Amino acid sequence: MTTFPDAPAAAGIVETAIRTRRSTIRLAEPAPGPDELLDLLAAAATAPDHGQLRPWRLIAISGDARVRLGEAAAEAAPTTDLAERIAVKHLRAPLMLAIVFQPRDHPTIPRWEQLAATSAMTTTLLLLLDARGWGGVWFGGPHPDAPQVRKHLGIGDGEQLLGYLYVGTPVPGDGPRPRPAADVRAKLTWLGDTDR
């Protein structure tokens, strides 16, 4: 177990980061560049991952590439009106990170556990972005399984697009929405001695 010189203070910082992080819907320029994104991803890759399979990959989409992805997603829309709205959704942030799940055949690590590891990495990445002052939100995205989208992004037959992290700078004055503390008592079952 790793210990910090001032473990209580470090624990307080981590807990505050977890309790105060909120999805940021309105995002503007700038967004993290390639070097910072690689640094953040290296840290996020330390999230729980049995066997260190890293059953995921990210595709960073910025600039005009967002327009082209929006056009590919719009092709899957059933109506022209919906297609126009879908295309615009891809421009809501300066950077999109496509989260691609890459399950591996493994004798002891099932697919569900690999999906949990991918979700843990993504959640950790959102926390890290927030800690550095960036805003982010995880959306499923329009038509993530559409053949047009899969082809455009190069999603393989054995892969699954889990949506996009929209990343950028929070719009000034658009602070985090308050969230009441969850009552989790019904979510915890304790077996054994509770006199601790």
The CATH code of the domain that includes 165 is 3.40.109.10
Model pLDDT, residue 1: 54
- Spell out, as residue ranges, where the chain has pLDDT lower than 50: none
Bridge-based pairing state of the strands 160-170 and 135-139: antiparallel
Q: Where are the beta strands (DSSP E) in 37-185?
A: 56-62, 95-101, 135-139, 160-170
**Residue 105 domain-assigned (yes or no):** yes
Residues 45-98 pLDDT 10s: 999 999 999 999 999 999 999 999 999 999 998 888 888 888 888 999 999 999
Angle in degrees, 0-180, between the axes of helices 7-20 and 111-131, rounded to the nearest 10: 100
| pTM confidence score | 0.89
Model pLDDT, residue 153: 97
Give the domain extent around 107: 23-60+93-170
The tally of domains found in the chain comes to 1
Token code pair at residue 92: 């809501």
**Residue 81 domain-assigned (yes or no):** no
**Residue 161 domain-assigned (yes or no):** yes
